[in-house]
Amino acid sequence: MPKWFSIPALWLGLMSSLWGEPLSLQQARQQALQQSPGIARLQARVLEMQHKVAEVEAGGNPHLDLQAGYSYVTPSLSFSGFPLIVNNNYRAGLVLEQALATFGRLSWGRQAAELQVRSLEQELVRERERLQYQVAVAYSRLQVARKSIEVAEISIQSRERLLKDLNLREKAGVSAKFEVLTAEVARAQDQQRLVLAQQQSQLAQSQLQVLLGWPRTQPVETLPLADGSGQTPLPDAEQALELAFKQRAELQAMNYAVQSAEAKVHLEESQSNPTLGLQTRYDQRNSTTFQTSNQWSVGVELRWPLFDGGLAEARSAQASAVVTQLREGKREMERQVRLEVEEALVRCITSRQNLEVARHNLTSAGEAARLGELRFKAGVGTHQEVLDAQARLREAQQSLFEAQQSLQEADWQLQLAEGQSA
C-alpha cells in the first residue's frame, strides 16, 4: 500500500471516530492495517532481510582499514652504529582490499537473500488479506447483531400490545388467565433474545475495536454494506483451484522460500571454491637500518581451502535438508489450499440456496402474521395464533439477516481462498 495513501486513510479514520461519524468498511480495513502488530512485525522482517541483501552485496565492495600498533623490544641491537632492532617500534597504515572473484559465494548469497525478501513480501501480502477478511467479518457481524436487537425490540413491543389487549379481554371475561400467562412467557422469551443479541453485538464490537486498535470506550458506528453478494456467477472447482494456485500469496512465498533455500545450498557448496582478491597498503613506521619509515605495497592474493574438516559438506547437507522440508511444506500447503477452495465453494452454493429460502420464508411469515392479527381483532382467531405467527415472523427476519451475512462471509471466504483482494 503506498504511504501517500495510507496516511490520509488513517487520518480520515481517526477524524471519523472523533466526530462520531460512521466508519465505512474500507476505512475500517485501512485503519486495521495501520494498527496491526502482525503487519508491523512482518514489515520489520522484510526490512531486516533487505538489509541482509545489502550486507551480502557489501562483501563485493572495497574495504579500507586503518591499522596501527606499538611494541617494545629489548634488548636493542645495532651493528657498527647502525640500529638493527630498536626498543620502541610503531606502525600505522591504510589497507585497501577488493574481492576480484569469489567463485559463486557473492552471487549465490545475494540470490538467496533477495529471494527471501520476496518470500517475506508475499507473506506480508497474505497477512494483509487475512486481516481485511477478519475486519470485514467482524464489521458484518456487528451489523447483523444490531439488526437482531432491532427485531427483538420490535417483537417485544408487539408482545406488549398483545398482552395489553389480553389483559383487557380477561377483565371483560372474554379471555382466560392462561392466555395472559402464555403471552407473558412469550414476552420473557423475547426479552431473553434481546439480551442475547445485545451480547453478540458487544462481542462483535469488541472484536472490531481490537482489530482497529481502538479503546474499549470508543464505540464503532458502521455504514450499510453494499449487497453485492451472490450476484456474480460462481466458478467451477477446477477454475477456482487454478486461480488459487496462481494467486495465493503464501504459495508464492513458499516458492521463493524453496528457491532461496536452493541458492543457499549452492552458497554452502561454493565455500570450498577459491577466492581471488586485490590488496594494497601504505605503512608509516619507525625506520631502522633495513627498513624505511614508509612503505607502499600492492598485490593479488589467491586463497583455496583444501581441507576444512568436513565443515562445508555438513553445511551443504543441512541446506539440502531445508530444501526438502520446504518442498514438502509446499505440497502440504497446496493440499490445504485445495480444501479451503472447495469448502468456500460449497459454502457459497449452500448460502445462496439458504438466502432464497429465507426470503421466501420471510414473505410467508409476514403475511401470516398480518392475517393472524386481523383474525384476532375480528374475534375469529386466538391469541396463540398471533403469538405463533409473530414468533415465526421474528425467526424469519432473523434467518434472513443471518443468511445475508452468511452469504457475504462466504463470498469473502472464497475471495480469500482464491487469493483475491476483497
The Cβ-side half-sphere exposure at 97, using a 13 Å CA radius, reads 14
For the cut 50, the answer to whether the pLDDT of residue 4 exceeds it is no
Q: What percent of the chain has pLDDT over 90?
A: 63
- β-strand partners of 92: 68, 284
Task: Indicate the pTM of the whole model.
Answer: 0.82
User: Residue 210's pLDDT band (boundaries 50, 70, 90)?
Assistant: very high
Residue 335: all three cell numbers together: 493440499
Q: Domain-by-domain residue ranges, the chain?
A: 36-418
For the cut 60, the answer to whether the pLDDT of residue 2 exceeds it is no
pLDDT value, residue 316: 92
Residue 82: all three cell numbers together: 647502525
For the cut 90, the answer to whether the pLDDT of residue 133 exceeds it is yes
Task: Please provide residue 119's backbone torsions phi and psi, each rounded to the nearest 5 degrees.
Answer: -60, -45
Which superfamily does CATH assign the domain made up of 36-418 to?
Outer membrane efflux proteins (OEP) (1.20.1600.10)
pLDDT value, residue 419: 92
Residue 161: all three cell numbers together: 400490545
pLDDT value, residue 228: 62
298 burial level (CB within 10 Å; 0-12, 13-18, 19+): exposed
| 6-10, 47-51, 307-311, range with the lowest pLDDT | 6-10
pLDDT value, residue 230: 60
pLDDT value, residue 44: 97
User: Residue 6's pLDDT band (boundaries 50, 70, 90)?
Assistant: very low
pLDDT value, residue 189: 87
Percent helix, strand and coil across the chain, each rounded to 5? 70, 15, 20
Instruction: Return the C-alpha torsion angle 133, 139, 145, 151, nearest 10.
Output: -120
pLDDT value, residue 19: 45
- Do residues 279 and 96 touch, judged by C-beta distance below 8 A? yes
For residue 24, the 8-state DSSP code is P
Between CA 108 and CA 53 the distance in angstroms is 11
pLDDT value, residue 20: 59
| 16-20, 37-41, 197-201, range with the lowest pLDDT | 16-20
Residue 337: all three cell numbers together: 489450499
Mean pLDDT of the chain: 88
Over residues 371-418, the pLDDT tens digits come to: 988 888 887 877 778 778 888 888 898 899 889 989 999 999 999 999
Residue 128: all three cell numbers together: 494483509
pLDDT value, residue 179: 77
User: Residue 11's pLDDT band (boundaries 50, 70, 90)?
Assistant: very low
Over residues 265-291, the pLDDT tens digits come to: 999 999 899 999 999 999 999 888 788
Over residues 216-270, the pLDDT tens digits come to: 999 999 998 876 666 778 888 999 999 999 999 999 999 999 999 999 999 999 9
User: Residue 176's pLDDT band (boundaries 50, 70, 90)?
Assistant: confident
- β-strand partners of 301: 277
Task: Please provide residue 276's backbone torsions phi and psi, each rounded to the nearest 5 degrees.
Answer: -125, 125
DSSP letter string, 370-383: HHHHHHHHHTSS-H
Of 210, 220, 319, 175, nearest to 260 by C-alpha is 319
- Do residues 180 and 218 touch, judged by C-beta distance below 8 A? no
For the cut 90, the answer to whether the pLDDT of residue 161 exceeds it is no
Task: Calculate mean pLDDT across residues 81-98.
Answer: 91
DSSP letter string, 329-361: HHHHHHHHHHHHHHHHHHHHHHHHHHHHHHHHH
pLDDT value, residue 16: 47
pLDDT value, residue 229: 61
Task: Calculate mean pLDDT across residues 2-22.
Answer: 50
Q: Residue 151: helix, strand or coil by DSSP?
A: helix
Burial code (b: 16+ CB inside 10 Å, e: under 16) for 66-86 equals eeeeeeeeeeeeeeeeeeeeb
pLDDT value, residue 309: 87
pLDDT value, residue 359: 92
User: Residue 17's pLDDT band (boundaries 50, 70, 90)?
Assistant: very low
